[in-house]
Chains A and B, each alone.
Chain A
């Protein structure tokens, strides 16, 4: 308790609190703007993080992460375009309620539910993460290698369209990561005698290119298309007392559901929010009102997707494995600022972890405050013309890439990977899979070589019981799950097509 009070004292200093406030506000704006996601928000923030202490950078990043998940709901409600994939379910009832002239109430409910879901998940994170980190201290290189294999199978879950394409993108990322000095012995590979390639492809420009610049190229396709204008009058934000009572009954179980799903690598906010929505609709006394502006249809997905934030941070912070795209970007970002997530982080820098936990909890209250206070301003933010917004983002991308080594070469890397990311996206290759490969590749290879070096080349040690086999089984289950998911998507697509043809 004393440690947490100490952390609280650290976080509420004016400088740190300002960083958290900027992070949350920035996250909300980025999450709200269609075409930008939490991942892009964190990437755009990275250049600023070089110039603050690691703990300050973590505080800011936590703020952006939580803010962006909430921010996705705003555009889902006001313009029927989810700012983030996890806000898609919120749109089902949020937009119809806004159409009825109650956009204020829809935003208010979303804000309250997001805060509640976030608080539940942060309590879980604070209680569970240190215990899991203590257990993970038993892991040796073979267990870590198995864990990396499991983490790489998450690629399957981000490969909705085609598992083959997802795996190919992941392997491409792994191959990119082998360029330069090998992570164990420092021998050069695939450098073609070019000195710049000795350090490989720097992660920050690759992240900026694949996620942010590629998105700017995608947005070029929308030039000239009409922009949906959000409603002007946003009033009556707070729900009534009886509605609040009903909300409590909805947000607590869905917040818990989201938290638990968030812990499972490969699930993420989109699955959690749709699951929560369907469960609340199933148990509702008025299921026919769902899809027509039912406030519980807004609260359930919002509590669930914000619940996933704390859940997803459990495997990330304790084991160093990302559960979804955003946490993969956070992992990359943490590594860029010199923080290596994993159990040792809890042992070596407990003060920093406590500061992160406290700031994540405070971020939830900031979301509540900023969300409720800014409902009149947010529709105006959504009106920002793309012709102003996207060039500014390009400027930030380039300056971010430059500031890594003060070199235009890194800008060029970002541009090249932006083009690669664009073509990958256009042809159904998930860019997130490439990033997972780039981030996890050196870690997996390092653990593999460490194992082989200490066991004189004995490969069987990689399957040392009891922990390593568990991760291989989980990896296998993850692939089966991804294959089944892909089959279900294809089946559903087939049904939709058949329906459309019948309709025609």
Chain B
């Protein structure tokens, strides 16, 4: 377990540093805000929040350092029980990283092309690709479900709820 603890300690330091940076950034921006009126300040609340974040992120970094220091040297690779710990690359499988990136990229592209391409074609392609990411291999499902879901959602929201879903240049 010591390898996991070291990983968690490092993660705490990295995330703590990110939050610390965010807190400092917010404090600087807050100090530049214009004060509109006496007694009531638009700086009060963001200042309280940023200072709180500053303190807690420092605490998280300190916790991360303590966690790492409490581990014996080389614990990440060979613990006392003789088991060789998995390096980070094996802990997070590459296939998952690829799926994750694929999901995010597909989502991003979808939000960019939905207006020019139209709701139905964009959604059918998105669903087909995401089904593939979730491991679907049966071809009839890969074709049938995105088409049916795309059409049903389109007509449900456009016809019944009158949401102006983009028609795109194809229609």
Contacts and interface: CB of A to CB of B under 8 A. Distances in A.
A50 B164 contact: no
Contacts of B112: 408
Interface string B114-139: 11000000010011001101111000
Interface in B123-161: 123, 126-127, 130-131, 133-136, 141, 145-146, 149-150, 153, 157, 160-161
A48 interface: yes
Contact of B60 (A168, A415, A419): A168
B92 to A, nearest CB: 9
Interface in A183-223: 184-185, 187, 189-190, 213, 216-217, 219-221, 223
Interface string B7-27: 000011001000100100010
A411 B111 contact: yes
A386 B99 CA distance: 15
A386 B134 contact: yes
A171 B49 contact: yes
Interface string A386-410: 1110111011101100110010110
Interface string A377-390: 00000000111101
A224 B133 CA distance: 11
Contacts of B60: 164-165, 168
Given A408-B114, A415-B108, A185 B134 contact: no
A51 interface: yes
Given A51-B161, A403-B157, A415-B107, A387 B33 contact: no
A165 B126 CA distance: 34
A182 B1 CA distance: 47
Contact of B134 (A171, A175, A220, A409): A220
Contact of A392 (B29, B104, B111, B149): B149
Interface residues of B, number: 65
Interface string A438-449: 000100110011
Contacts of A185: 36-37, 40, 42
B90 interface: no
B165 interface: yes
B127 A395 contact: yes
Contacts of A396: 153
**What band does the interface of chain A fall in when counting residues whose beta carbon is under 8 Å from B?**
35 or more
B34 A402 contact: no
Contacts of A418: 107
Given A175-B22, A388-B131, A190 B29 contact: yes
B56 interface: yes
A399 B157 CA distance: 8
A391 B19 CA distance: 32
A15 B38 CA distance: 53
A138 interface: no
Contacts of A3: none
B52 to A, nearest CB: 5
Contact of B46 (A189, A399, A408): A189
B44 A415 contact: no
B161 A48 contact: yes
B68 interface: no
B26 to A, nearest CB: 6
A174 B56 CA distance: 14
29 contacts: A51-B160, A51-B162, A165-B60, A167-B52, A171-B49, A171-B53, A174-B49, A175-B22, A175-B26, A178-B49, A187-B34, A217-B100, A220-B133, A223-B99, A223-B135, A386-B134, A388-B131, A391-B131, A391-B146, A399-B157, A403-B163, A408-B114, A412-B108, A415-B104, A415-B111, A427-B12, A444-B45, A456-B38, A504-B81
Interface of B: 1, 11-12, 15, 19, 22, 26, 29-30, 33-34, 36-42, 44-46, 49-50, 52-53, 56-57, 59-60, 63, 81, 96, 99-100, 103-104, 107-108, 110-112, 114-115, 123, 126-127, 130-131, 133-136, 141, 145-146, 149-150, 153, 157, 160-165
Interface of A: 47-48, 50-51, 164-165, 167-168, 171-172, 174-175, 178, 182, 184-185, 187, 189-190, 213, 216-217, 219-221, 223-224, 385-388, 390-392, 394-396, 398-399, 402-403, 406, 408-409, 411-412, 415, 418-419, 427, 429, 441, 444-445, 448-449, 452-453, 455-457, 497, 504
Given A220-B99, A386-B134, 9 more contacts: A168-B57, A178-B46, A184-B42, A217-B103, A387-B135, A394-B107, A398-B126, A402-B165, A457-B39
